[in-house]
Structures are given as C-alpha cells and as structure tokens.
Amino acid sequence: MTHHQDEPMTIHLASQSDLDDAIRVLVKQDPRLKPILDRTGLPALRQRQPGYEGLAAIVCGQQLSTASAAAIWGRLTAAFDPFHHDAIRTARTDRLGRLGLSAAKIVTLKKLAREIAGGRLNLDVLAEEDADAAHATLVRHHGIGPWTADVYLLFCLGHGDAWPAGDIAIQEAIKVGLGLTTRPTPKQMAPLAEPWRPLRGAAAHLWWAYYKVIKNREGVMAK
C-alpha cells in the first residue's frame, strides 16, 4: 500500500495484496469484522480503467442492467478506439444516440469531456486527495452523483478510503452483519464507517463480498 508524503493518509489499493493487507488491518482495528471475514474469505479486488474512459463506463452503466450496460459500452468502445475525451466531445449527438446512449448520458459525457479538455476537471489528482475532498470535487460536475463518484474513486483509482454510502448492497450487508434493525440510509452510513478510516474502500470490498454470501444463503443469486 503506497503512502504519499503530502497525503500520509491516502492509501491505494493497487493490487490484490494491498487489499489483503488492508483487510487484515481492518479486522484488527474493528473486531466486529472478524466474523464477516470468516464467512467471506479475503475479497477479490475489483479494478476498472482509470481516466475519462473509466468514468464514462460508470456513467454509461447508470440505471441499466449489467448486460445492457456492457452491450452499449461495447458498441461505444468499438466506435471510438482509442476511447478519448476529445473524440466524445466532438462526436455528433445523433451518432452517440444510435449507439444506445440516452440523451441525458450524452449530455453528461460531452460536458465531462469539455471539463477535462478545458482543465477544469483533473481526474489524475483525485487519487492523491482525501476521499471526501475527491468525492466533493467529482459531484460538482453535471451527471456525477454520489454513487458514481465513489465507484470511480474505488475501482478506477483504487482509493483506499472511498466509501459508497449510497450502495444498497453494502447497506444491506451492514444491516445483517452488524445486526441493525433497518437498512442504514446513506446519511447513517457515514458515521457507521468512521471506525474503518482510512480504509473504508477496503471495508466496502468486504461488505460486497458479505452481501454475496447472504444473498446466496437466501437462495437468491447475487448480482
């Protein structure tokens, strides 16, 4: 896990061994996670493309099934290879629409491409920022909601402390795992995750793994 001089608390989950180490630290930090880990085993690190491409892929998949998102993304990346913000910025709206993108997503992808081209959004520096500051930077931009911001920080940048408070699977897993009576709201998720700083991103991986375990136990296949 890499520590940086200027931001000593920013930890990166760049490899599976980084995540394994982080999970071991977490379980020592919060013994309530030990029985969770016993059920899940060490979770697998999930990684995606960084930069504009990674962000565009997440935006593309918003509110779609995994299969539909993959189909649209496949058509987009085949049409624009290499996939670059300038290509999307200058692409005709009707061409993007024919590839399956909704009007709202076309607006978002084009606006983000313009922000990056104009130097108003620098995705590279976010990896070094405090997770809450990086989250705030992202959600200021049109079409990036809290969930998209957190998923980008976690999977595309490997930000060790990113915390997807709005993720329903994590909320459900925490409810069951910590024996809460109701599923925590995104607002309640912030104080719940305090004990896991600066490794909330690693905790998210653990809770997703636990969600899969409890869903399978109920005889419902996890997504």
Tens digits of residue pLDDT in 90-132: 999 999 999 999 999 999 999 999 999 999 999 988 988 999 9
The Cβ of residue 154 has, within 10 Å, a number of other Cβ atoms equal to 26
CATH code for residues 16-46+161-217: 1.10.1670.40
**Which residues of the chain does CATH 1.10.340.30 include?**
51-156
d(CA 91, CA 205): 36
Task: Please give the Cα distance from 45 to 169 (Å, whole number).
Answer: 17
Span 24-35, mean pLDDT?
Answer: 97
Q: φ, ψ for residue 106 (rounded to 5)?
A: -65, -45
Q: What percent of the chain has a predicted confidence (pLDDT) above 90?
A: 85
Q: Where in the chain is the domain with CATH 1.10.1670.40?
A: 16-46+161-217
User: How far apart, in whole angstroms, are the C-alpha atoms of residue 50 and residue 14?
Assistant: 12
pLDDT-derived band of residue 223, with 50, 70 and 90 as boundaries? Answer: very low
Q: What is the predicted pLDDT for the residue at 8?
A: 52
Look at residue 164 and tell me whether its pLDDT is greater than 70: yes
Residue 39: both structure tokens together = 């059920």
Whether the model clears a pTM of 0.85, i.e. scores above it, the answer is yes
Does residue 9 have a pLDDT over 70? Answer: no
Question: pLDDT tens digit string along 74-101?
Answer: 999 999 999 999 999 999 999 999 999 9
Share of the chain above pLDDT 70, in %: 93
| CATH architecture group of domain 51-156 | Orthogonal Bundle (1.10)
Residue 10 has pLDDT above 60, yes or no: yes
